[in-house]
Structure 1
Amino acid sequence: MNLCDYNEIRGLLTRHGFRFSKSMGQNFLIDPAVPMRIAEASGADESCGVLEIGPGIGPLTAELARRAARVSAVELDKSLYPVLAETMADYPNVEIVPGDAMKLDLAALAAEKFPGLTPMVCANLPYNITTPILTKLAETPCFRSVTVMIQKEVAQRVCAAPGSPDCGAFSLLMQYRMETELLFEVPRECFLPSPKVTSAVIRCTRRERPPVEVEDEEFFFRCIRGGFLLRRKTLLNSLSAAFPRLEKDAIRAAIAACGLPETVRGERLGLAEFTELARRLR
């Protein structure tokens, strides 16, 4: 079965009485080159166990199964279980895991499903959970890499360089743990139904250690979020709003001690600058 053929997809879904759910962000690929490119970009091979989130009807799942030792695909929509039972019947190394990826203990799942294998993530992520699931994956150290298709806008944010218009707190928090790379775009016409946005594929590779050494990670992350709290305001005003118990003059002094002008905005700072700022604010 060609899982990217429009007519075969329609017949498959009709046969199982499936209806698309907007709330779950369901858009199925109809260009066979795309899942092949995503799976290839993931670097999956026989030494790997791949976690997939939101397999849909399984076109990417099948490509991963041809490469990896094991594939565990987490699916929330119960109406897709009989569909996947049919489409994945020829792949004994694929297991469909019922559940919500946002609620599952992914580290425990990887340890259970991939003993002796290198865990990685490869998925066409549901658009409605993109940011929280990427954050969760970045904070789950067992995954060597995360290769996912997401909204182009979010992909640009994840990979944005400090000082660029797309750079924000989410960019820096991801780049603290992962090396990020935007690989290629995927047009709307490659999906059924066609989404309202262009998609893009990114690869995030786990860093052996963060690029900066921080004294207190929780406070460091709080400083980064605080620096972007008031996006159009200066760093001084943004941090004053984020740390209401700190005197504004103390924040001003910390910014000056970092060699930064008082008028600087948070988006001009990279991880190194926020590291020094956090140290002085503490």
Structure 2
Amino acid sequence: MIARHGLQASKALGQNFLLDEQLLDRIAKIPGSLKDKAVLEVGPGPGGLTRALLRAGARVTAIEMDRRCLPALAELEAAFPGKLRVIEGDAMKIDPATLFDEPYAIVANLPYNVGTALFVGWLSGQQWPPQWSSLTLMFQQEVAQRIVATPDSSAYGRLAVLAQWRNEAKLALKVHRSAFTPPPKVMSAIIHVTPGIMPENVSARTLERVTEAAFGQRRKMLRQSLKGLPGASAALDRLGIDPQRRAETLSVAEFVSLAREL
């Protein structure tokens, strides 16, 4: 199909095509049974993962901004009547809530250049649980490790706190660079995230602001990195958190407590 449509992965769009059918079927199984379930896929490219999701029985809505890939996806639409809806557009500018009137899973080999931004967007918002039932996403392995990192590790940072404070996040599968066409310079991994219980009396926006400030200057002590947040110093005092600690030593629960206090 790639040869027939003259497709080449675009570096500018962060594309790396995944074509190993066995591997793609394994990825489609990570969220559990997808039979007659709604699934959102971002950046399907020529449709390798799309095909695996359709084989698993999913009803797929795919957002693709690369017009070159649309004829290949149209072939899949014809092969799976009524099961695939392709939307041409930029996933960064499309709210998934406008596409579905039911719960949906998100499964995607995300374009490397926008993957983290999309992920943080899906994790945000005060309304919880979200409309999505799970996130099964391909990232560079370094980014995947940051998502599941624990305190006092070099990978632990804002991404880990935002991913873990009201979700369960796990590294589901490592993917060797040789599985892609063309092979990227880095290894990849699949992250699987399911919504958990929202802590009471916590503003998601406040937590985002706290982590942004704390990890924005991660080498500095909290008293310095949080000084731009009104009331942060007093909140640390009330919680018994030493202001001389650095952000990477605080647990996810301590960040949640700090956001609640503020």
TM-score by length of 1: 0.84
One-letter code aligned to 2:70: Y
Map of 2:108 onto structure 1: 123
The CA deviation string for residues 112-158 of structure 1, in whole angstroms up to 9 with x for no partner, is xxx5xx41111111111111111122237110001011111111111
Map of 1:57 onto structure 2: 46
Map of 2:119 onto structure 1: 134
Among all aligned residue pairs of Structure 1 and Structure 2, give the percentage whose two residues are the same amino acid. 40
One-letter code aligned to 1:221: E
The CA deviation string for residues 154-194 of structure 1, in whole angstroms up to 9 with x for no partner, is 11111112332211112111212321010111011001011
How far, CA to CA, are the matches of 2:44 and 2:152 in structure 1?
36
**How far apart are 1:256 and its partner, in Å?**
3.5
Map of 1:237 onto structure 2: 224
Q: Report the secondary structure of 1:144's partner residue.
A: strand
> Counterparts in 2 of 1:188-267, with a 5 A limit?
188-207=177-196, 209-210=197-198, 212-240=199-227, 242-243=228-229, 246=230, 251-267=232-248
Map of 1:7 onto structure 2: none
RMSD: 2.0
Map of 1:3 onto structure 2: none
| Gap runs ≥5 in structure 2 | none
Q: Is the contact between residue 58 and residue 88 of structure 1 (CA under 8 Å) also seen in structure 2?
A: no
Map of 2:88 onto structure 1: 98
> Counterparts in 2 of 1:12-91, with a 5 A limit?
12-91=1-80
One-letter code aligned to 1:73: A
Computing the radius of gyration over CA atoms, which structure comes out larger, 1 or 2? 1
Q: Is the contact between residue 234 and residue 264 of structure 1 (CA under 8 Å) also seen in structure 2?
A: yes
Q: Is the contact between residue 223 and residue 233 of structure 2 (CA under 8 Å) also seen in structure 1?
A: yes
| Gap runs ≥5 in structure 1 | 1-11
Q: Is the contact between residue 45 and residue 69 of structure 2 (CA under 8 Å) also seen in structure 1?
A: yes
How far, CA to CA, are the matches of 1:125 and 1:170 in structure 2?
16
Q: Report the secondary structure of 1:147's partner residue.
A: strand
Q: Report the secondary structure of 2:184's partner residue.
A: coil
Distance 1:228 1:151, change over 3 A: same
Aligned length: 257
Matched, 1:163 2:163: no
One-letter code aligned to 2:114: I
Q: Is the contact between residue 119 and residue 144 of structure 1 (CA under 8 Å) also seen in structure 2?
A: yes
**How far apart are 1:88 and its partner, in Å?**
4.5
How far, CA to CA, are the matches of 2:249 and 2:46 in structure 1?
43
